[in-house]
Structure 1
């Protein structure tokens, strides 16, 4: 409550180490979601010691990927494929949704970027005439949609989508929605802080699937980009 009752944004950042352990790295209450807000947060994370990042996974907020590259120029950017597919299906007629979904699947299920681009060309040939805007949108974003294919196959299902953070946000919302409103920003911060600490304690004992197989490759990727041995 700030003079009146209204919803406010909580920015939340979840990181995954090369060992495969998740951690809520930071949360920030207040304001409206924007690329500028995210850049401020990314700068804060960098100044707190998060200096080496391989990959940032985002939805399609305009400017967010540019903010990531400004703070972490050596990082890759991955656009959430699940969001992109949903947006495409919302833009086509209901009778075509199943067919479009099936024709999109070979693109993000491909074994390499070259194969994925070939599958996209097939998708374009089928749907260009009927849904040119959908095809154009995928064509423009194809590079950032396929970043995950440059990473070890064992972790690709984890990194082509923002599902990890979506699930985390959903659980935190469950906690805050039981209250009609929170009296101050500090009260909101306390709720999110306690929930974050609970997650981090549980996650410290749960390694994500596939990261054991990918560990050596990820170590080499860090070394190649940042020139330092990982501990």
Structure 2
């Protein structure tokens, strides 16, 4: 069920406004509550925080709920720091990461 659940959950973040997102989310609850009661209960507990990004302009919503930019940045740092087998001090590592950022 993982792929089906994830595809339906993604629909919540793709709605035009918060009202539509709440409707899709509640439909999601109804459909999956029987199979995944614990997960649905946890989602209901965090629902106000789950949809908070709808309070912001559409242009920046993706950067709020997506960690892709953060993950990409972390991968760049790891890749560039890897060839440097050892840094003589913690300060030199901090400086290197600062330069990369």
Alignment counterpart, residue 39 of structure 2, candidates 119, 134, 139 = 134
Displacement of 1:126 in angstroms is 0.8
Q: Distance in 1 between matches of 2:11 and 2:98?
A: 40
Structure 1, unpaired ranges of 5+:
1-95, 197-231
Alignment counterpart, residue 56 of structure 2, candidates 129, 151, 166 = 151
The alignment partner of 1:182 has SS state of coil
Displacement of 1:182 in angstroms is 2.2
Partner of 1:188: 93
The alignment partner of 2:66 has SS state of coil
Q: Distance in 2 between matches of 1:136 and 1:98?
A: 20
What do the CA deviations read for 1:70-117 (whole angstroms, capped 9, x no partner)? xxxxxxxxxxxxxxxxxxxxxxxxxx0121012212211112222111
1:28-107 matches, within 5 Å, as 96-107=1-12
Higher relative contact order (CA 8 A, sep 6+): 1
The alignment partner of 2:16 has SS state of coil
Structure 2, unpaired ranges of 5+:
none
Q: Which has the higher helix share?
A: 2
Q: Which has the higher strand share?
A: 1
Q: Distance in 2 between matches of 1:174 and 1:144?
A: 33
The alignment partner of 2:3 has SS state of helix
Q: Which is further off, 174-183 or 185-194? A: 174-183
Displacement of 1:133 in angstroms is 1.7
Q: Which is further off, 102-111 or 117-126? A: 102-111
1:158-173 matches, within 5 Å, as 158-173=63-78
Q: Distance in 1 between matches of 2:100 and 2:7?
A: 38
TM-score, normalised to structure 2, is 0.86
